[in-house]
Amino acid sequence: MSPSSEDRIVTSSHQTFSPTPSQSKALHAVPEQACTALIPEASDVLQATLLDRDHSILAFNERVFDWAVRADVPLLERVRFLTIVSSNLDEFFEVRAAPHLAAARSGETKGPCTQASFEALSAKAHDLVARQYALYNDDLVPALDAHGIRIISHGRRTPAQRRWVREYFRREVRPLLIPVGLDPAHPFPQVANKSLNFIVRLKGGDAFGRENEIAIVKIPRALPRLIRMPAAVAAKGAQCVSLSSVVRAHLEDLFPERQVTEFSQFRVTRHSDLAVDEEDVRNLRTALRQGLQQRHYGEAVRLEVSAGCSDFLSDFLRAQFNLPAPALYRVHGPVNLVRLGQLIDLADAPNLLFKPSPPCWPQQMQQGGSILAQLRKGDVLIHQPFESFDGVLAFLREAVNDPHVLAIKQTIYRTGADPQMLDLLREAVRRGKEVLAVVELKARFDEEANINWAEALESVGAQVVYGVVGLKTHAKMLLVTRREGRVLRRYGHLSTGNYNPRTARLYTDLSYLTADEDTTADMDNVFNHLASQNRLPRMRRLLVAPFHLHRRTLEKIEQVGLAAAQGKDARIVAKMNALTDEALVRALLLAGQRGARIDLIVRGACILPAQVPGVSDNIRVRSIIGRFLEHSRVFYFRAGEQEELYLSSADWMNRNMLRRVEVSWPVTDPVLRQRIVDECLVAYLCDDRDAWNLQPDGVYARSSPDGSGTGVQNALMHRYARSTAAGGMK
């Protein structure tokens, strides 16, 4: 299954790149010792020590952080990667930190969450945060300054700039601030999750002669965190001021006749995983709306303050939020690096960004022609973001406008703010078509957007359901039913990623369009199951979680292992976002010990220890971190003469297998299967620039420390650009 000469990948230097013969045959290669390998006892595998999931998540963010460090990355893109790491850390604390914090408070010494685990994770997080701010202050700020992009502190402002900032504060900021002096009648105010605040220590009496020395100033989210000054006071480059420095410079204006002796900005991160007892609510949507209001005020898990914050103020805040010392983070800069992303737009410097790489029109699709007619001839694959998500929108648009289309069914998980798909579904209702939308209200941090989608669709008469109680509907499916003569024919779209036009330009995903009768019948059965909650009938093609995807995946891994033990070709190549399901990990370890050769391309968390002598000698794990977020899930199994390739919406995580509705589907078209193997597996195994390899000690090592070599994402961008220029891949 080596790539054909027509499908070679082009590198960023425009030289031709293809896997070597040994690499291209890797999908079939079996180590010689596999022929005589002894089948290990299952107990030997169970004794293997797995890697810690939370440490693996932090390690992933260290790999992302490397892109902020790399000098070959455009400057503003380095800033963007710095903000991505900060955003990821926010989510880590919001979702993963609370159990470890609770264990630390109780002195727990046994189990997955202990006082020791809290301290170890805190040390790792503190180190990463320290490196972030060191990079920001010592590298990025001077580099931005050299390009005329500056965030000017109060001490560096000219008299004219100070006058402008004072007027801005008086006009835009001061009317929205309500400083709260603390006393028995004014308790510590509710501070929202991740909001910007100031704590101030005052000297002198208040209006009533009392010495209440602590005050809190909450900064409204409506105010921009960075403000670009006008050319009249900042003639050269993009000169900005931060909102925190604007407030800091005028704190005394908030407390007339009193002296500000100490102050610090601060930000608290709270546990934000919504917990709704679905068995005990009558209306899930209403319950979630109420839960969203409370999310901003969950249990505090992290406190960030300025590096110069006094012990008196930081101890006061820690006591208010009931946090131990390791949960305090002193930062040398803004307490929220995520908001630095605004600088990218304010700078207006396209030369400091990645060179635009617009996606091409899906090369299997004839632009302007009928997509449904094409699907009657064969399946279509769209490789995003190298090919445009517009092909999916065109499929839906044709269905909406086709008078012979009777029904449209779609799952909605993360759609973003782009209204195109919502508008198309509403138009379908207006045209008299039956529209079923399975809206997942519990998509983490997208709950409110999905509630709005549900209400908008219901308002025009669409049938909206929320999946199955206790399970998240994570499957990505769109099904069209059309009358063709005396029969009804179905057309389906399955995807590894979301129906989100924005992230479709930023994430690598595979969209699969088909009119295959077995596949679309299975899709229809899944939709009917989600709506009616009737028992799911026997599937012909799809593997569906939580019913049989987990079991069937374990069976496939075992088949490969047994083939290896019998001296047959035995190969697994799996690409996913995370590998944390213990049963699947143990099955992979057993298959590897039986002699199967296994390559795992895992973007984020991975608990499988790779290349450990006597445990996982035949298993390699690598992570690709590139310009785009790796998001596609591809699973290849070879057991002797049996060869299968599956795409899926599911990662190999326990939640995906047992607590979500997911689908996995086989790719049977030999041309499309070969294309996926070449572009999503072989090419990724050959990346020697953006890949990180998991070492036996559990640490990831970059495949190319000096940044040389070929990056698979750049290679694919050039391949598609060249193919488009040459008239497309036919």
The DSSP 8-state label assigned to residue 375 in this structure reads: H
Would you call 23 helix, strand, or coil by DSSP? helix
For residues 400 and 424, is the Cβ–Cβ distance under 8 A?
Answer: yes
Give CA–CA dist 92/194, Å, rounded: 13
Pairing of strands 634-639, 405-412: unpaired
CA dist., res. 249 & res. 260, Å (int): 11
Number of helical (H) and strand (E) elements in the chain, helices listed first: 23, 29
Residue 21 to residue 19: CA distance in whole angstroms: 6
**How far lies 254's CA from each of 139, 177, 181, 198, 210, in Å?**
35, 9, 11, 12, 17
Is 444 marked within a binding site?
A: yes
Report how far residue 542's alpha carbon sits from residue 520's, in angstroms, rounded to the nearest whole number: 9
What pairing do the DSSP bridges indicate for beta strands 405-412 and 570-576?
unpaired
> Residue ranges of the alpha helices (H) in 517-664?
517-532, 549-565, 582-593, 654-658
Cα 708 from Cα 23, distance rounded (Å): 19
Compute the distance between CA of residue 383 and CA of residue 365 in angstroms, rounded to an integer: 12
397 is in an annotated binding site: no
DSSP 430-488: HTT-EEEEEE-TTSTT-HHHHHHHHHHHHHTT-EEE---TT-EE---EEEEEEEETTEE
603 is in an annotated binding site: yes
Helix (H/G/I), strand (E/B), else coil: 352: helix
Tokens 């799952």 locate to: 411
Report whether 395 contacts 499 (CB < 8 A).
no
Alpha-carbon gap, residue 422 to 414, rounded angstroms:
12
Alpha-carbon span 148 to 513, nearest angstrom: 48
Kindly state the helix (H) or strand (E) to which residue 420 belongs, with its residue range: helix 420-430
Q: Judge contact between 180 and 186, C-beta under 8 A.
A: yes
Asked whether residue 631 is marked as a ligand-binding residue, the answer is yes
Cβ proximity of 730 and 20 under 8 Å: no
Q: Do strands 629-630 and 507-514 pair parallel, antiparallel, or not at all (unpaired)? A: parallel
296 in active site: no
Give me Rg for the CA atoms of the chain.
28
Cα–Cα distance between 45 and 127 in angstroms, integer?
34
- Distance of alpha carbon 62 from alpha carbon 85, whole angstroms: 8
Candidates 100, 271, 474, 529; catalytic one: 474
In terms of C-beta distances under 8 Å and separation of at least 24 residues, what long-range contacts does 553-557 make, across chains too?
Answer: 553/584, 553/635, 553/652, 553/657, 553/664, 554/583, 554/584, 554/587, 556/637, 556/639, 556/644, 557/584, 557/587, 557/588, 557/591, 557/637
* 3-state DSSP assignment of residue 212: coil
Which DSSP category does 508 fall into? E
Residue 207: both structure tokens together: 């209006």
Q: In this structure, what token pair is assigned to residue 395?
A: 């499929």
Residues belonging to the binding site are 88, 414, 444, 507, 603, 631
Residues belonging to the binding site for Mg(2+) are 414, 444
Residues belonging to the binding site for ATP are 88, 507, 603, 631
Please give the positions annotated as active site.
474
